[in-house]
Amino acid sequence: MEGILAFEDGTILHGRGFGHEGWVAAELCFNTSMTGYQEILTDPSYRGQIVALTCPEIGNTGINPEDEESDRPQVSGLLVRRLSTRGSSWRERETLDVYLRRHKVLGLEGVDTRCLTRKLRTLGAMKGVLANQGMKPEEAVQRAREWAGLGGKDYVAEVTCTKSFEWDPEGKDFPGRLGSERETMPAVRHRVAAIDCGMKRNILRQLRAEGIQPIVFPAKATAEEILGAKVDGIFLSNGPGDPSVPTYVHQMVRELVGKKPIFGICLGHQMLAHALGGKTYKLKFGHRGGNQPVKDLRSGKVSITSQNHGYAVDPDSLPKGTVEVTHVNLNDGTCEGLQLKGGGAFSVQYHPEAAPGPHDAGYFFRQFAELLDATKKRG
């Protein structure tokens, strides 16, 4: 079936539709990762976005349940240069086309993803409509212009869990893929409240691999409820949308600072910044992919990182003398990490759990475990 991608500025790109039939309006973005399309599709941070993958062929390894980072695709739509209709992996359980159709997610192949990427890099993030049901181009452009955009909507409320639970790698909630490795997992040394703003499953696996038992809480949980669970620390997860919108998370984190050790990733980094008095702003086209260079300002070490965010922390808004910027992006100088001076709370803008992406930054989970050890030792 024929399909189109309409930009709010009137640009039309043509392609062939796959997956679900219909139309959807969302923010257009691109991801430069060469692998891991299933993890990208199921990352809750992509809620409200149509994602273009710059890797020229997608679908060649099919879909399997072990590689999902949530229980369904979270993207509003998928754009690819070429769709592979046959998977070539022994782990495949269904094709990408069937998977998207089953979950009612639209796809478009044959799109000039290079043109799209250059356009977004030049002009910035744009609103768009993906349609593969015969919609006229002028109607699609109008619908793109009428879409409200990501700002102002609480996407965290759409992806967070509905009640708290203790994560089990073999359980039905946020299932893991540890399998027989579960028997070799280290003994649990700490219980940590993991605030689910749109959490990826691999974060929970990485915490557990460091001897940390995650107790998952909804994003709207109160500080009182979290402290009542007698946890040793707080983890703030990744998630979608404008970080200034879920003010209930800001307030909850503000009440937890100084009471328990805190570690935040991506949106969790931005939530910590807001709780400490900082502000965030929208990036021109965001950082999405597995090749972002980040420098640790304390050691000078550079890591290649996995990232997925469209907003950044304004370092000038952080309280002087209280909060320290620890990491910066070497491409554009944006804030990629911060910590509360004196210890007790730290965060990074990128994804040390990868899935997909390089594992350069995986040491942060160990660093969090060591902070919990030191805090418990002090009593």
- Tell which wins on pLDDT, 305 or 172: 305
The H or E element spanning position 223 is: helix 223-228
How far is residue 182 CA from its own chain's centroid?
Answer: 25
In the residue annotation, 353 being an active-site residue is answered as yes
Task: pLDDT band for 184, please (50, 70, 90 cuts).
Answer: low
Residue percentage of the chain with pLDDT more than 70: 96
Q: Which residue in the list 250, 287, 327, 351 is annotated as catalytic?
A: 351
Residue 10 annotated as lining a ligand binding site: no
Task: pLDDT band for 378, please (50, 70, 90 cuts).
Answer: confident
- Residue ranges of the chain assigned to CATH 3.50.30.20: 2-146
The encoded tokens of residue 83 equal 């769709």
Closest to 170 in 3D by CA, of 217, 199, 205 = 205
pLDDT in tens, 313-324: 999 999 999 999
Please give the backbone phi and psi of residue 214, each rounded to the nearest 5 degrees, phi first: -80, 130
Task: pLDDT band for 260, please (50, 70, 90 cuts).
Answer: very high
In the residue annotation, 250 being an active-site residue is answered as no
Q: What's the whole-number average pLDDT of the chain?
A: 94
Written as one letter, the residue type at 20 is: H
Residue 22 annotated as lining a ligand binding site: no
Residue 36 annotated as lining a ligand binding site: no
Quick check: 352 and 365 in contact, CB under 8 A? yes
pLDDT in the model for residue 140: 97
The gap between the terminal CA atoms of the chain, to the nearest Å, is 64
Question: Does the structure show a pLDDT above 80 at 173?
Answer: no
- Tell which wins on pLDDT, 378 or 325: 325
Question: Does the structure show a pLDDT above 80 at 262?
Answer: yes
pLDDT in the model for residue 200: 97
Task: pLDDT band for 343, please (50, 70, 90 cuts).
Answer: confident
Task: pLDDT band for 366, please (50, 70, 90 cuts).
Answer: very high
In the residue annotation, 39 being an active-site residue is answered as no
pLDDT in the model for residue 316: 97
- Tell which wins on pLDDT, 378 or 261: 261
Question: Does the structure show a pLDDT above 60 at 182?
Answer: no
Residue 244 annotated as lining a ligand binding site: no
pLDDT in tens, 266-321: 999 999 999 999 999 999 999 999 999 999 999 999 999 999 999 999 999 999 99
What mean pLDDT comes out for the span 78-94?
93
Residue percentage of the chain with pLDDT more than 90: 89
Q: Domain 156-378 in CATH: superfamily?
A: Class I glutamine amidotransferase (GATase) domain (3.40.50.880)
CATH of region 2-146, choose from 3.40.50.300, 1.10.3470.10, 3.20.10.10, 3.50.30.20: 3.50.30.20
pLDDT in tens, 27-49: 999 999 999 999 999 999 999 99
pLDDT in tens, 199-217: 999 999 999 999 999 999 9
Written as one letter, the residue type at 347 is: S
- Residue ranges of the chain assigned to CATH 3.40.50.880: 156-378
Quick check: 219 and 253 in contact, CB under 8 A? no
Q: Which residue in the list 29, 197, 266, 335 is annotated as catalytic?
A: 266
Closest to 265 in 3D by CA, of 161, 194, 340 = 194
Residue 241 annotated as lining a ligand binding site: yes
Length of the chain in residues, anyone? Answer: 379
